Amino acid sequence: MLHTIILGIVQGLCEFLPVSSSGHLALFQYFFGFVNENLVAFDLLLHVPTVLVIVIFFWHDVIRILAEWFGGWFSKRKLPGWIYGWAVIIATLMTGAGLPLKKLVDEFSASPFYVGCGLIFTAMVMLIVPLISRRKKNISLIKTAFIVGIAQGIAVLPGVSRSGMTIAAGLLMGLSIAEAFKFSFLISVPAVLGASLLEALKMWKSGEAVFLPEGYVWAVIAAFVFGFAALGAMRKIILAGKWGYFGVYCLTVGVTAIVLTL
């Protein structure tokens, strides 16, 4: 039961911090001896509280964007939410670029070595991008959505941070840190829900047994509580321009994971 709760805490913290929740879950499951267990249903369940955290954290933006996007179909006056809504949709569609990587994801998830490589790649992105990104004026959010969506698709690989990749892509396209942060997490909601639905349908069609370890309810609660705290902390750290610390952390964990497999 303790291991289950720890996995919930890991999901909550790492889903929002740019350190790869999938990579950390894979490492924890490997070193806790869960590799041979069917934890697909449990992994899907842990995404429910983290998506809920995002919706609650950005509830004002979510309501405004939805209202202005739907209103745009019936009014000639196009409010900002109309463009923002389409940007989220485009980024979600571009995330599909990561679907061909599905076989690699299954293979890499079972190997601490590949997860470590993914973490090192994440570290390089977070350490280099802030140094080369430049703020541009009048940047097109639609064009940005294409690039950020592709970055989110690449982040399906274990060890590659979704938030790290998307925020970095936003910065490279000229978004401010605050704008890149918000856009990164808003586009994660449809992407995570869509991916979870596809995985659930696949599991249902294959007739796989649903395995939920003891204490899964507490794991879900832990994922929500720690996730909410992590998202708030993440916002302060990112806005302060100190996300290089996450790069150092990912580099350390990635190298350690590789060394332990040698």
| pLDDT, average across residues 234-243 | 85
CA distance linking residue 104 with residue 133, whole number of Å? 30
Query: Phi/psi of residue 88, each to 5°?
Result: -65, -40
pLDDT in tens, 137-155: 667 889 999 999 999 988 8
Scanning the structure block, which residue is given the tokens 């998202």?
A: 231
Residue that wins the pLDDT comparison between 194 and 136:
194
| Contact yes or no for 179/148 (Cβ under 8 A) | no
Scanning the structure block, which residue is given the tokens 């280099």?
A: 128
**pLDDT at position 203 over 90:** no
Scanning the structure block, which residue is given the tokens 């925020």?
A: 167
**pLDDT at position 132 over 50:** yes
**pLDDT at position 213 over 80:** no
CA distance linking residue 231 with residue 12, whole number of Å? 9
Report the predicted TM-score, pTM, of the whole model to 2 decimal places: 0.86
Cα separation values, 100 from 96, 106, 116, 154, 155, Å: 8, 12, 21, 10, 12
- Structure confidence at residue 211 (pLDDT): 64
Report percent pLDDT > 90 for the chain.
30
| pLDDT, average across residues 186-213 | 73
pLDDT in tens, 2-48: 777 877 787 788 788 888 877 877 777 776 665 545 556 667 777 78
- Structure confidence at residue 250 (pLDDT): 92
Burial class of residue 256, CB neighbours in 10 A (0-12, 13-18, 19+): middle
Residue that wins the pLDDT comparison between 176 and 30:
176
- Structure confidence at residue 36 (pLDDT): 46
- Structure confidence at residue 20 (pLDDT): 83
> How much is the mean pLDDT over the chain?
83
**pLDDT at position 156 over 90:** no
Left if phi > 0, otherwise alpha if psi is -120 to 50, otherwise beta: which for 211? beta
Number of helices and strands (H, E) in the chain?
A: 13, 0
| Contact yes or no for 55/189 (Cβ under 8 A) | yes
What the block records as the tokens of 152 is 């989110």
CA distance linking residue 84 with residue 167, whole number of Å? 16
pLDDT in tens, 79-118: 889 999 999 999 999 987 766 766 677 677 778 888 889 9
Alpha carbon distance, N-terminus to C-terminus of the chain: 30
